[in-house]
Amino acid sequence: MELDKETGLYNHGARLRNPITANWLKIDPLYEQFPDVSPMSYCHANPVGRIDMDGKADFYARNGTYLGNDGVDNGDIYLLNEGYRAKTENESINWGGNFGKYVPIIQERSEKVDGLIIQNRIERGADYTISEFHTIGCHNNTNGYMLEPARPSTKESGIDKRIPEGVYDLAPHNGTKYKNTFVLYNEDVPKSRAILYHVGNYGKNTEGCNLPGTEKGNGAVYGSSQKFKELLIFIKSQEGTNIKTIINNNIEE
């Protein structure tokens, strides 16, 4: 965001804003693309808590932090490869804006993905962990809470404890008990451990898995069936199948 001294307007990249009237000079570009969704979809219906960067979602760090864009309004999403970090102390790069000449370098060190599910752990109890989550993609974004098992985090199978923070791939899952869902996995946590998204409200329902909900309270999530449907719609509605889940642990242990 830069102040245009000639016009007195703030330039947010995709559009201009009048700081006196607090009005935008045109509608959010994302709403022009998807008029059937809320014009607040760019910030998950939370314009105070989330930032309207430029109407686009481009480059993200491994923890889900927005880094900037390539200046092309195509909705592409990139995630930094493992082993790379954003050197935000390098003031020659326009962090949070158009990377300009640095686009090829950052793109080479990133993976193009179809969507992100960013999950930040905020609360824990004797038999549960609760996160806030939101999605980043081209269609049907959603947000809410996620219930997981209690600490400690573990890579081992057969243990009803949460998985470690990190980046996870998703794959379709149709098992005996849970069907039409997705399993989270990476190099440390194999598919065979069966860490799934499924419906449930309490820590005793987790079975090692992730349970979405619309609200939280008293160590539980509520509205799980509805939020589970929304999450599946998001995953299935993206243009490809390369969806990543990012889990961050923001709780003192």
Do 177 and 197 lie in a common domain? yes
Do 78 and 12 lie in a common domain? no
When pLDDT is averaged across residues 223-235 and rounded to a whole number, the result is: 97
Separation of alpha carbons 119 and 224, rounded Å: 16
Do 139 and 238 lie in a common domain? yes
pLDDT at 113 over 50: yes
When pLDDT is averaged across residues 48-64 and rounded to a whole number, the result is: 66
Full domain range(s) for residue 226: 115-249
State the amino acid at position 223 in one-letter form: G
Tokens for 198?
A: 């499924």
| pLDDT score, position 26 | 60
pTM of the model: 0.78
Do 143 and 89 lie in a common domain? no
Residue 136 inside a domain? The answer is: yes
Do 155 and 205 lie in a common domain? yes
Q: In the chain, pLDDT over 70 holds for what percent of residues? A: 77
**Largest pairwise CA distance in the chain:** 65
Residue 79 inside a domain? The answer is: yes
pLDDT band of residue 51 (cuts 50, 70, 90) is very low
Do 102 and 173 lie in a common domain? no
Do 176 and 245 lie in a common domain? yes
| pLDDT score, position 23 | 61
Residue 15 inside a domain? The answer is: yes
Separation of alpha carbons 181 and 196, rounded Å: 7
pLDDT at 53 over 50: no
| pLDDT score, position 13 | 56
Separation of alpha carbons 207 and 11, rounded Å: 48
Residue 48 inside a domain? The answer is: no
Burial class (CB in 10 A: 0-12, 13-18, 19+), 192: exposed
> pLDDT digits over 72-104, tens only?
878 899 999 999 999 989 999 999 999 999 999
| pLDDT score, position 27 | 58
Do 244 and 133 lie in a common domain? yes
Is 130 strand, coil or helix? Answer: strand
When pLDDT is averaged across residues 194-202 and rounded to a whole number, the result is: 97
Residue 148 inside a domain? The answer is: yes
Separation of alpha carbons 209 and 136, rounded Å: 21
| pLDDT score, position 224 | 98
Do 66 and 170 lie in a common domain? no
Do 128 and 188 lie in a common domain? yes
Burial class (CB in 10 A: 0-12, 13-18, 19+), 222: middle
Do 34 and 103 lie in a common domain? no
Do 1 and 71 lie in a common domain? no
pLDDT at 37 over 80: no
Residue 51 inside a domain? The answer is: no
Residue 49 inside a domain? The answer is: no
Total domain count for the chain?
A: 3
Residue 50 inside a domain? The answer is: no
